[in-house]
Amino acid sequence: MPLVYEELRRLAACRMSHEVQGHTLQPTALVHEAWMRLGGVEASFKNRAHFFGAAAEAMRRILIDRARRRIAAKRGAGSERVNLDAIEIPSPATDDDQLLAVNEALEKFAALDPRKAELVKLRYFVGMSFDEAATALGIAVPTAKQWWAYARAWLTVELRGAGGL
């Protein structure tokens, strides 16, 4: 478990380095939240690929949920008076709308090609390299690069059509 934790922490740190300045979620918190969503020690996984796939999905959902909360907060959803010392104030991020658009497009893409969508989750939401993602999915690196090129093209067309880019 310490080796897996350190690898998850490194991947989360890499992913969080691409976030907007001023974000409040730290890599350790992302890994801990993902670990809790995965079921902690009691969870069982078939293999390394299954574990990292589940971890990628958990991290993606955490980031999407945070983006949705920040967008809702920006628009004043559920506004009421509260003690500001007792809460974490979400920082405005210009990428939240784009993140949600990418997530929506990715869900459509997953219905068409789940394996390539899994590669996108590992690369985009977790920040894995081609080597790491290919290993996690059990495919060759050149195959991962071909899938990535196809998925990026498909998502770009989808996002342009939806007004997400």
Q: What digits encode the pLDDT tens for the residues 85-132?
A: 443 433 333 467 777 888 889 999 999 999 999 999 888 888 888 999
25 versus 112: the higher-pLDDT residue is 112
Predicted confidence at residue 71, as pLDDT, reads 79
pTM: 0.54
Predicted confidence at residue 11, as pLDDT, reads 78
Whether the Cβ atoms of residue 57 and residue 117 lie closer than 8 Å to each other: no
Over the chain, what is the mean pLDDT?
78
Query: pLDDT (tens digit, 9 = 90+) per residue, 133-146?
Result: 999 999 999 999 99
With vertex at residue 23, the alpha carbon angle to CA 123 and CA 109, rounded to the nearest 5 degrees, is: 30
For the chain, percent of residues with pLDDT exceeding 90:
22
14 versus 153: the higher-pLDDT residue is 153
Predicted confidence at residue 41, as pLDDT, reads 58
Q: Give the number of other Cβ atoms within 10 Å of residue 153's Cβ.
A: 10
Domain ranges of the chain: 2-162
d(CA 39, CA 90): 27
For the chain, percent of residues with pLDDT exceeding 70:
75
Predicted confidence at residue 118, as pLDDT, reads 93
d(CA 66, CA 88): 12
